[in-house]
């Protein structure tokens, strides 16, 4: 078989766990077996060398595939801090779609659905040792998970063929039917060109002023000793910030009120609808009626603002003004009112959840890593001595940027899905029309092959003396290629300004009685809650 058609099953049948005292191979997937493995002295002396590999060879399944030990089982056994996949020489040719390995743990009727719902992060990070493409079952449906950055880039850069998100589009059609995230083909390419000027550097400078003002006001609103749920509070702040950068004219106040009252509920409902099979959605009659009603109300409210902007003809230095003014140089096309409403709702829906989640995770990592907190506070005290941050400070916050980049690596979105529009070729393998393609930035960015010591939160990996060791193609927190988030620079800027404003004034102390956990309520693995007590700095 030619090398272009060969899909090496890197690490098939073998993985290692880093223990407190040493490393030992994974040999089972239950707590009882985890405890037994810990007690085996021949495995505890293995490490990552040949001895460990030879010890693990005899502890695979009869089909030559390793049996994975989930992280929480290791932790219960009292030994593990992370997973370290290794690479063996046991490659395997994948000639047809039937040769694609299936992930372990498939159950009748539900497939891998329970694992995906209960342990999504553990589930995706256990897939790479089975091969570059792994088959999973979501109920009765088959999906193909891409486990290497190269394959993900083939799809994202359009080299593999065409893809669509028609199912997501159908799930949210009453709210937004034509935004860039659900368009495909030439329509998607045109829309990306049309909205790109709204995120250029000149516009970002204006948005940064708004983000800094709101962030400083928000940080000043707290009191010494106050208990705050950072997740909830950050959602409110980010929603206010994004809506304020969308439109700033005085006559848009009613739309801002509607956004504040509608978007949180609509966003949660979108996630529920997108997670359900199409045949199940109509059963939720009352929820569907409410979704349709609130979607129409929000679209009408934002649509009124778009109409007023067109009538005024003024540039308010905001995103809506940029959308209205832009003319595509290749086609002469302008965005219609409906197009603009679709994009504004997408920015609100997609931006609020992901940005607020990353804000909260950054605070969580700072408060749980004292050495990181100490260096971050020292930098903020030097750069922002009066505690009032502005866009002019961003370039000087070097260590803060490293902490943010590591947060984006450590807590990247756990899943993204596309559907093949016609036959597509990924890694030399042809997948049929309608095939569901899944990839996980979280999985890639927790793979030791691409990020050594991936289970450790280490901002210094992004420092000037080490950042050259990181292949930028392996960093995927905002996606890749034509599906890359167009608002990534704004998100980075806003989080820096607003989390910086918060941490410049306050030293959050986590609630010792609450354990923060990633949730499965959205695609970004948001923290469940983050209760902290604030102490003035």
pLDDT band (50, 70, 90) for residue 267: confident
What's the rounded Cα separation, in Å, for the pair 112 and 414? 15
What's the rounded Cα separation, in Å, for the pair 14 and 1? 24
What pLDDT does 81 receive?
A: 34
Binding residues: 485
**Which among 214, 213, 221 is positioned nearest to 534, based on CA atoms?**
221
pLDDT band (50, 70, 90) for residue 95: low
What pLDDT does 2 receive?
A: 35
User: pLDDT of 284-308, one tens digit each?
Assistant: 899 999 999 999 999 999 999 999 9
What's the rounded Cα separation, in Å, for the pair 138 and 143? 7
Q: Which residue has the higher pLDDT, 65 or 171?
A: 171
Burial of 214 (0-12, 13-18, 19+ CB in 10 A): buried
User: pLDDT of 395-444, one tens digit each?
Assistant: 999 999 999 999 999 999 999 999 999 999 998 899 999 999 999 999 99
The answer to whether residue 89 scores a pLDDT higher than 50 is no
Binding residues for heme: 485
What's the rounded Cα separation, in Å, for the pair 520 and 357? 12
Please compute the mean of the pLDDT values over residues 20-31 and round it to a whole number: 34
What pLDDT does 534 receive?
A: 98
**Which among 493, 524, 491, 522 is positioned nearest to 412, based on CA atoms?**
524
Question: How are beta strands 23-25 and 15-19 bridged, if at all?
Answer: antiparallel
What pLDDT does 522 receive?
A: 64
What pLDDT does 77 receive?
A: 41
Residue pair 380/505 in contact (Cβ under 8 Å)? The answer is: no
- Cβ neighbours of residue 362 under 8 Å, at least 6 residues apart? 403, 404, 407, 495, 499
Between 81-85, 175-179, 480-484, the lowest mean confidence (pLDDT) is in 81-85
- Distance from CA of residue 430 to its chain's centroid? 27
User: pLDDT of 444-460, one tens digit each?
Assistant: 999 999 999 999 999 99
Q: Percentage of the chain surpassing pLDDT 70?
A: 82
Please compute the mean of the pLDDT values over residues 114-133 and round it to a whole number: 92
Task: Report all structural domains of the chain as residue ranges with CATH numbers, in order of start.
Answer: 1-93 (no CATH), 185-413+446-536 (1.10.630.10)
Q: Percentage of the chain surpassing pLDDT 90?
A: 55
The answer to whether residue 51 scores a pLDDT higher than 70 is no
Burial of 106 (0-12, 13-18, 19+ CB in 10 A): middle
Tokens of 32: 């009882």
What pLDDT does 133 receive?
A: 95
What pLDDT does 271 receive?
A: 80
pLDDT band (50, 70, 90) for residue 10: very low
What pLDDT does 361 receive?
A: 97
Q: Which residue has the higher pLDDT, 380 or 480?
A: 380
The answer to whether residue 8 scores a pLDDT higher than 70 is no
The answer to whether residue 197 scores a pLDDT higher than 70 is yes
Per the prediction, the chain carries an average pLDDT of 82
**Which among 8, 416, 421, 406 is positioned nearest to 187, based on CA atoms?**
421
**Which among 256, 301, 270, 307 is positioned nearest to 175, based on CA atoms?**
270
pLDDT band (50, 70, 90) for residue 254: confident
What pLDDT does 29 receive?
A: 38
Between 122-136, 144-158, 167-181, the lowest mean confidence (pLDDT) is in 167-181
**Which among 484, 498, 533, 462 is positioned nearest to 362, based on CA atoms?**
498
pLDDT band (50, 70, 90) for residue 371: very high
The answer to whether residue 516 scores a pLDDT higher than 90 is yes
What pLDDT does 282 receive?
A: 87
DSSP 393-447: GGGG-HHHHHHHHHHHHHT--S-EEEEESS-EEETTEEE-TT-EEEE-HHHHHT-
pTM of the model: 0.81
What pLDDT does 96 receive?
A: 82
Phi, psi of 516 (to 5 degrees): -75, 130
Please compute the mean of the pLDDT values over residues 368-396 and round it to a whole number: 98
What pLDDT does 183 receive?
A: 87
pLDDT band (50, 70, 90) for residue 48: very low
The answer to whether residue 21 scores a pLDDT higher than 70 is no
What pLDDT does 521 receive?
A: 67
The answer to whether residue 142 scores a pLDDT higher than 90 is yes
User: pLDDT of 68-79, one tens digit each?
Assistant: 333 444 344 443
């Amino acid at each position: 078989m030619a090398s272009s058609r060969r899909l090496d099953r890197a690490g098939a049948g073998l993985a290692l766990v880093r223990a407190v005292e040493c490393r030992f191979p994974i040999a089972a997937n239950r707590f009882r077996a985890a405890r037994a493995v810990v007690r085996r002295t021949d495995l505890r002396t293995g490490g990552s060398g040949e001895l460990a590999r030879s010890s693990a060879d005899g502890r695979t399944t009869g089909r030559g595939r390793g049996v994975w030990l989930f992280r929480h089982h290791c932790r219960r056994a009292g030994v593990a801090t992370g997973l370290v996949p290794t690479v063996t020489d046991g490659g395997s040719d994948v000639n047809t779609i039937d040769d694609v390995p299936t992930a372990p743990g498939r159950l009748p009727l539900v497939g891998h659905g329970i694992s995906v719902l209960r342990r999504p992060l553990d589930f995706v990070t256990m897939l790479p040792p089975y091969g570059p493409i792994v088959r999973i079952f979501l109920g009765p449906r088959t999906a193909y998970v891409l486990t290497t950055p190269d394959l993900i880039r083939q799809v994202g850069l359009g080299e593999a063929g065409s893809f669509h998100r028609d199912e997501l589009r159908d799930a949210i059609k009453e709210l937004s039917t034509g935004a860039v995230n659900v368009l495909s083909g030439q329509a998607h390419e045109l829309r990306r060109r049309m909205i790109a000027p709204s995120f250029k550097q000149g516009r970002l400078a204006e948005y940064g002023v708004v983000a800094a003002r709101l962030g400083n006001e928000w940080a000043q609103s707290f009191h010494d000793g106050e208990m705050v749920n950072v997740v909830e509070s950050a959602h409110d702040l980010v929603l206010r910030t994004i809506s304020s950068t969308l439109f700033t004219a005085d006559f848009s106040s009613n739309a801002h009120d509607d956004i504040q009252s509608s978007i949180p509920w609509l966003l949660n409902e979108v996630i529920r609808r997108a997670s359900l099979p199409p045949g199940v959605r109509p059963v939720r009659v009352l929820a569907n009626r409410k979704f349709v009603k609130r979607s129409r109300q929000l679209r009408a409210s934002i649509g009124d603002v778009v109409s007023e902007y067109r009538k005024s003809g003024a540039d308010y230095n905001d995103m809506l003004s940029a959308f209205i003014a832009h003319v595509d140089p290749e086609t002469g096309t302008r965005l219609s009112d409906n197009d603009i409403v679709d994009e504004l709702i997408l920015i609100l829906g997609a931006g609020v959840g992901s940005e607020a989640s990353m804000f909260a995770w950054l605070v969580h990592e700072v408060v749980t890593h004292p050495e990181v907190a100490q260096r971050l506070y020292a930098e903020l005290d030097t750069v922002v001595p009066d505690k009032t941050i502005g866009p002019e400070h961003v370039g000087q916050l070097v260590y803060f940027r490293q902490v943010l980049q590591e947060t984006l690596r450590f807590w990247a979105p756990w899943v993204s899905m596309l559907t093949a529009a016609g036959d597509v070729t990924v890694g030399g393998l042809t997948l049929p029309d309608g095939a569901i393609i899944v990839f996980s930035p979280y999985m890639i960015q927790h793979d030791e092959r691409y990020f050594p010591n991936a289970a450790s939160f280490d901002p210094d990996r992004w420092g000037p003396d080490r950042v050259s060791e990181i292949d930028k193609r392996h960093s995927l927190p905002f996606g890749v290629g034509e599906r890359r988030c167009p608002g990534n620079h704004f998100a980075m800027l806003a989080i820096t300004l607003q989390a910086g404003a918060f941490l410049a004034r306050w030293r959050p102390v986590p609630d010792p009685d609450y354990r923060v956990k990633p949730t499965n309520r959205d695609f970004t693995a948001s923290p469940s809650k983050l209760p902290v007590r604030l102490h003035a700095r």
